[in-house]
Structure 1
Amino acid sequence: MVTAALVLPTGSSAHGGDPGALWPSGPAWASDPRVLAPLSVSAVLFLVGTVRLWGRAGHGRGVRRWQVACFWSGWTVLALALLSPLHGWGERLFTAYMVEHELLMVIAAPLLVLARPGSAMLWALPASWRPRVGGVVRLPVLGPAWRSMRTPFSATLLHGVALWAWHMPGLYDLVLVNALAHWLQHLSFLLSALLFWWALLHGPVRSRGYGASFLYLFLTSLHTGLLGVLLTVSPRLWYPRQVAAAAEWGLTPLEDQQLAGLVMWVPAGLVYAAAALTLAGIWIRRSGPDTARQAHAA
């Protein structure tokens, strides 16, 4: 029932009896160049770089096959979230909007981080460019900032600030009427999520066995779950403009808000929990007997 509500407008459309009247030519795919350009460039760089690297080192070397699978899976999820009809539905249905955001932050972002596509993309560039492009984060201007942001605490804090700030009613209402603000919201969600997952999976804590990563994943699941709970149980509408068209899907505005809150609370929480348990298992397995017993006790 919920899935049907997400996908198919009902006959109670505010624009008439024909659900198809919502889109004269059917749900459209987005064509925003601010989205198409980086998606296209990243796909070409990764494809060309992988082919070149495997041509030099051998198939499956330098970039593992599972990394390639992670990249293209994450890239596909990202493209579907930002370009498919889901994006258009999200402008008229809060629940679809929330699904789009969760796809960005808890599915696409960790898959792309697991892929570690930077090495393959560097191989797509001319050989003389690779050292300079690869060393950008070590420049005096960027180095200190990158070292401070890549810590789990900083990355978790930035990701949390981005999430809560954009859900403040005033800023959220701006997103609904301003295309640039909408684009900036998606960009900050994606970049902060990439930083968050990178800090937990590849950052300094990796050498210490992922114990800290488990903690920060748990904290993130708490505060994102709290936001989802507040949306679900609130008796008043947070963003009346966002849920104004809910009747087109046979929902009341409050039901649309409640479903959106459930999407943030339950499915996203399950992803964070699964990731936390996986990292906890790696932490315990890599630890010595004493540390393993302490981890089990904790």
Structure 2
Amino acid sequence: MRIARSAGEASLLAAFVSALCIMPAPAAFAHGAGQGTGPWPVAGLTVVPLGVVLLLYSGGVARLWRRAGAGRGVAWWQLACFATGWSALAAALMSPLHELGERLFTAHMLEHEVLMVVAAPALVLSRPLGAMLWAFPPVIRRRLARAARWQVVRITWRGLTEPASATILHGLAIWSWHMPVLFDAALASEPVHWLQHFSFLASALLFWWALLNGRARRRGYGASVFYLFFTSMHCGLLGAILALSKNKLFVPRNSVASQWNLTVLEDQQLGGLIMWVGASAFYLAAALILAAFWIGSGSSAMKKVAGTASSMRD
């Protein structure tokens, strides 16, 4: 009964949050076509996927915990990671930050970093797909499991989640969208803007999955440390280029930089500093944490080998 009550509360909470997301915001700031109005920009392209993911995850966790017990199958820390990642997505895409990012380069950069270095790793650590599958009836779960075993799916997934390829894809997404022509196109066209967000998030999810849950983990995190250091360096380089540039590379439409006591160039430089220091430092910190795990696991393995050798001599 206690577990069922907790599961029911989780489902009600998910429904309540989804309802809040779908409610129209008060009229204040006009956005683009298909967008809601208000400082909290509500768009179907954002609300529907986020709402569906939240309902599937909470429904799957509720069903799983009713059968196995609270905290089993999906640990509490995984639930916390999912809540963090989902909230970061909502904050980046449906908060005033998104609206401000249309007119302030610094806010635009901050929005992208939230997607790539907060939401993506938190969602990857939560491993939500297993829980989401439990939201479906058994027949659909079996069909999805069979589809996941198709050779074309396995080969494609293996290629995309190879640490080297995932790192390259993530790097290409970061560098290509910061080319002035593509960046300006994203600001001028709402579909292109959402394609930009999708490529940042999708490449980041593949990148973090490959380094935290994929073959790199089974190899002992050594490859993960290397690719995180590499990503930290190239993000730092791009950020330094933007921060130290004396020329305006990006000019947001209807820039509000002056309202923040910034020139357009200073706005660009501050955004570059966020990537140079903030994002680069996050990747570096993740590399150091995984390096500590890697060294610790190596020390444990050496102790086991030494213990086995000692017992054999005895």
Secondary structure in structure 2 of the residue aligned to 1:92: coil
Shift of residue 134 of structure 1? 3.2
| Alpha carbons of structure 1 residues 287 and 167: separation in structure 2 relative to 1, 3 Å | same
Equivalent in the alignment of 2:58 = 47
Shift of residue 242 of structure 1? 5.2
**Which residue identity does 1:164 align to in structure 2?**
W
| Alpha carbons of structure 1 residues 197 and 179: separation in structure 2 relative to 1, 3 Å | same
- In structure 1, which of residues 160, 182, 187 is the aligned counterpart of residue 171 of structure 2? 160
Bigger mean CA offset, 134-143 vs 48-57? 134-143
| Alpha carbons of structure 1 residues 94 and 179: separation in structure 2 relative to 1, 3 Å | same
- The answer to whether structure 1 residue 67 and structure 2 residue 78 are counterparts is yes
- The answer to whether structure 1 residue 265 and structure 2 residue 276 are counterparts is yes
**Which residue identity does 2:55 align to in structure 1?**
V
Equivalent in the alignment of 1:119 = 130
Shift of residue 132 of structure 1? 2.0
Rg larger in 1 or in 2?
Answer: 2
Secondary structure in structure 1 of the residue aligned to 2:152: coil
Shift of residue 78 of structure 1? 0.7
- The answer to whether structure 1 residue 215 and structure 2 residue 222 are counterparts is no
Tell me, in whole angstroms, the C-alpha distance in 1 between the residues paired with 2:108 and 2:126. Answer: 26
Q: Which 5+ residue runs of structure 2 have no aligned equivalent?
A: 1-27, 31-36, 304-314
| Alpha carbons of structure 1 residues 290 and 63: separation in structure 2 relative to 1, 3 Å | closer
| Conservation of the 8 A alpha-carbon contact between 1:46 and 1:117 | yes
**Which residue identity does 1:278 align to in structure 2?**
I
Tell me, in whole angstroms, the C-alpha distance in 2 between the residues paired with 1:27 and 1:270. Answer: 34
- In structure 2, which of residues 141, 157, 177 is the aligned counterpart of residue 146 of structure 1? 157
Deviations 1:87-143 (A, max 9, x none): 000011100011100000000100000000111100000011112223434323322
Equivalent in the alignment of 1:36 = 47
Q: Which 5+ residue runs of structure 1 have no aligned equivalent?
A: 1-21, 293-298
Equivalent in the alignment of 1:77 = 88
Secondary structure in structure 1 of the residue aligned to 2:283: helix
Equivalent in the alignment of 2:108 = 97
Tell me, in whole angstroms, the C-alpha distance in 2 between the residues paired with 1:136 and 1:161. Answer: 29
**Which residue identity does 1:51 align to in structure 2?**
A
Secondary structure in structure 2 of the residue aligned to 1:141: helix
Deviations 1:244-283 (A, max 9, x none): 4311221101110011001111111221111111100110
Shift of residue 243 of structure 1? 7.9
Equivalent in the alignment of 1:227 = 238
| Alpha carbons of structure 1 residues 53 and 258: separation in structure 2 relative to 1, 3 Å | same
Secondary structure in structure 2 of the residue aligned to 1:142: helix
TM-score by length of 1: 0.87
Secondary structure in structure 1 of the residue aligned to 2:139: coil
Bigger mean CA offset, 268-277 vs 241-250? 241-250
- In structure 2, which of residues 261, 271, 288 is the aligned counterpart of residue 250 of structure 1? 261
- Between the two proteins, the alignment pairs up a number of residues equal to 270
CA RMSD after TM alignment: 1.9
- In structure 1, which of residues 279, 285, 292 is the aligned counterpart of residue 296 of structure 2? 285
Tell me, in whole angstroms, the C-alpha distance in 2 between the residues paired with 1:274 and 1:135. Answer: 38
**Which residue identity does 1:76 align to in structure 2?**
S
| Alpha carbons of structure 1 residues 147 and 290: separation in structure 2 relative to 1, 3 Å | closer
Tell me, in whole angstroms, the C-alpha distance in 1 between the residues paired with 2:178 and 2:150. Answer: 34
Tell me, in whole angstroms, the C-alpha distance in 2 between the residues paired with 1:255 and 1:100. Answer: 18
Secondary structure in structure 2 of the residue aligned to 1:124: coil
**Which residue identity does 1:121 align to in structure 2?**
M
Alignment of 1:2-17 (within 5 A): none
Tell me, in whole angstroms, the C-alpha distance in 2 between the residues paired with 1:290 and 1:204. Answer: 19
Tell me, in whole angstroms, the C-alpha distance in 2 between the residues paired with 1:113 and 1:202. Answer: 8
Higher relative contact order, structure no. (Cα contacts within 8 Å, ≥ 6 residues apart): 1
- In structure 2, which of residues 197, 203, 206 is the aligned counterpart of residue 186 of structure 1? 197
| Alpha carbons of structure 1 residues 32 and 57: separation in structure 2 relative to 1, 3 Å | same
| Alpha carbons of structure 1 residues 291 and 222: separation in structure 2 relative to 1, 3 Å | farther
| Conservation of the 8 A alpha-carbon contact between 2:225 and 2:291 | yes
Tell me, in whole angstroms, the C-alpha distance in 2 between the residues paired with 1:103 and 1:289. Answer: 35
